[in-house]
Amino acid sequence: MTTSMGYAVAPALVDRDTLVGASVLGLVPVLLAGVVVLVKWWRGRDEMFDAVTPGLLPDDPASAARHRVRGGEWSGTVAPAFAPPRDVRPGVVGTVVDGVAHAHDVSATLLDLAVRGWLHIVQVSGGSERDWELRRTTPPPAEAPTAFERLLLDRLFEGRDRVRLSALKGSFAMTMREAQIGLYREVVDRGWYARHPRARNGRTRAIGLLVLVPLTVVAAVVVLAGLVDGHDWSLTPVLVGLVAALVVLARWGGARTPRTAEGTALRIQALGFREYLATAEADRLRFEEKRALLSSYLPYAVAFGLTAHFAALLRDLANDSHWTDYVDGLSWYDFGGWGSDGGDLSLGDALVDIGDTTTGLADVGDVFDGVEGFTDATDSLFSFEGLSGCGTGFDGCDGCDLPGCDL
């Protein structure tokens, strides 16, 4: 354009009235996304019972008053609990504590099945690497296993009486995935979570993204056209606001699945037991606790990730003059040809003969190393590389099309 004097005037890059309106309009999707995130955060906090000591259940949990935990999940100080939660298996306890069915939770389940007499673990020569043979116990125990424990046992043996752990690599990963789903299903069925613990509750986020993405594309076209035709970027705040809302929803629009008040109580009990295992000292343990540590408590230590501390505790216990009085019930693990006669050497035998150099074991740490090696080898089975329709990682049903993912 030109003036009456004949000078050219550059076009305005910004229409102030349009810019103000666009800025206000651009704030709308950002504020709406912020409200969605705030509501999701509020609804994603764990429940907790009112007027009872944390970790305890009221007389009538169904009608008891409850509130949302400040900060998402309870983080107070726990008192050591000298026994695990009643009627809750190690893998399930580990899943409730952090909301994730880790590989070591399934490994702890296998160890727990062995301790309870469902299978026998024998360390065998596997060439350059250690290997383990799993032998099904006959007759089986009188107790009834849970659904996911039955799945593990059936898929583990598939009509066989024994199988080597190394033979399961590759073919067993999907079974582990299904076992993981079984763990999630149990924590939902037993009322500790209202929904799948790893569900991100992203329906609102998905709807928001479906609306925002087309609007963002349209706004980008309009802004680009304005810049090209008239060098006008007045509508840019609208595009910026839509992009910011997209980022907010994509990053924070999904909420964690909260625990029910019953789930919070169980988690606090489990944390108390974990505190006990993590701080237990050999010279302070009662006789009953020493016996429990060497059998039923071991799978819980694996589920809690306390294997190193557990090995150190066993070393200290080996110095007890009454060591042989509390090694009952340890026949579920054999060290194969490590014994002096070339026959099976059970975990109990190895611990009893800890001072006998004919066992070939330096100390109880070497004994426990066999069990720890087994759990590490079992964890390594949980690799989903090469499985079609399944994501990587042990983090729920995301990216894996399996029956039972929709809880």
H or E element at residue 66? strand 66-68
Confidence of residue 191 (pLDDT cuts 50, 70, 90): very high
Give the rounded distance of the alpha carbon of 66 from its chain centre: 25
- Of residues 404 and 13, the one with the higher pLDDT is 13
Helix (H, G, I), strand (E, B) or coil at 344: coil
Are residues 124 and 240 both part of a single domain? Answer: no
Strand partners, 68: 47
pLDDT band at residue 202 using 50, 70 and 90 as cut-offs: low
Say what the pLDDT of residue 65 is.
93
In 147-227, beta strands by DSSP E:
162-164
Q: Could you tell me if 279 and 297 lie in one domain?
A: yes
Query: Do 74 and 191 belong together in one domain?
Result: yes
CB distance 237 to 22 below 8 Å: yes
Asked if 232 and 13 touch (Cβ cutoff 8 Å), the reply is yes
Same-domain status, 215 and 233: yes
Q: 162, 134 in Cβ contact below 8 A? A: yes
Any residues with CB less than 8 A from the CB of 36 and at least 6 apart, and which? 204, 205, 208, 249, 253
Task: Check whether residue 30 and residue 147 sit in a common domain.
Answer: no
Number of domains the chain contains: 2
Strand positions, DSSP E, 314-391: 333-334
Q: Are residues 268 and 233 in the same domain?
A: no
Residue 349 lies in a domain: yes
Within-domain flag for 396: no
Domain membership flag for residue 94: yes
CA pair distance 339, 351, nearest whole angstrom: 12
Which residues are within 8 A (CB) of 397 and not within 5 positions of it... i.e. 6 or more apart? 181, 184, 196, 198, 405, 406
pLDDT tens digits for 241-268?
A: 999 998 888 887 777 789 999 999 999 9
Whether the Cβ atoms of residue 93 and residue 300 lie closer than 8 Å to each other: yes
Domain annotation covers residue 393: no
CA nearest 184: which of 119, 257, 253, 113?
257
Q: Report the SS3 class of residue 14.
A: coil
Residues 95 and 175 in one domain: yes
Tell me the sheet residues that pair with 8. Answer: 2
Cα separation, 175 vs 41, in Å, equals 34
Same domain, 185 and 266: yes
Position 183 in a domain: yes
Contact, 156 vs 118, CB < 8 A? no
CB 233 within 8 A of CB 226: yes
pLDDT of amino acid 230: 67
pLDDT grade, residue 130 (50/70/90)? confident
Residue at 54 is within a domain: no
Q: Are residues 104 and 167 in the same domain?
A: yes
pLDDT surpassing 90 at residue 37 = no
Distance of CA 117 to the CA centre of its chain: 26
227 shares a domain with 213: yes
Is the per-residue pLDDT at 366 higher than 70? no
Strand, helix or coil for residue 136? strand
pLDDT at 354 over 60: no
More confident residue, 195 or 8: 195
314-337 in b/e form (b: 16+ CB < 10 A) is bbebbeeeebeebbebbebbbbbe
**Within-domain flag for 2:** no
- Rounded Cα gap, residues 332 and 336, in angstroms: 12
Range of the domain at 29: 16-44+202-252
- Whether residues 243 and 112 fall in one domain: no
Backbone φ, ψ for residue 390 (5° rounding) = -140, 130
Q: Is the pLDDT of residue 163 over 60?
A: yes
Average pLDDT over all residues of the chain: 78
Distance in angstroms (rounded) separating the CA atoms of residues 240 and 30: 9
Return the percentage of the chain with pLDDT > 70, whole number: 77
Count other Cβ atoms within 10 Å, centred on residue 163.
18
pLDDT at 7: 42
Look up the pTM and report it. 0.76
Residue with token string 């299904």: 178
Cα separation, 347 vs 101, whole angstroms: 28
296 with 277: CB under 8 angstroms? no
**In the chain, % of residues over pLDDT 90:** 22
Residue 337: which pLDDT band, with cuts at 50, 70 and 90?
low
Asked, for residue 216, whether it belongs to a domain, the answer is yes
pLDDT computed for residue 205 by the predictor: 72
Residues 280 and 188 in one domain: yes
Residue 31: CB partners within 8 Å, gap ≥ 6? none
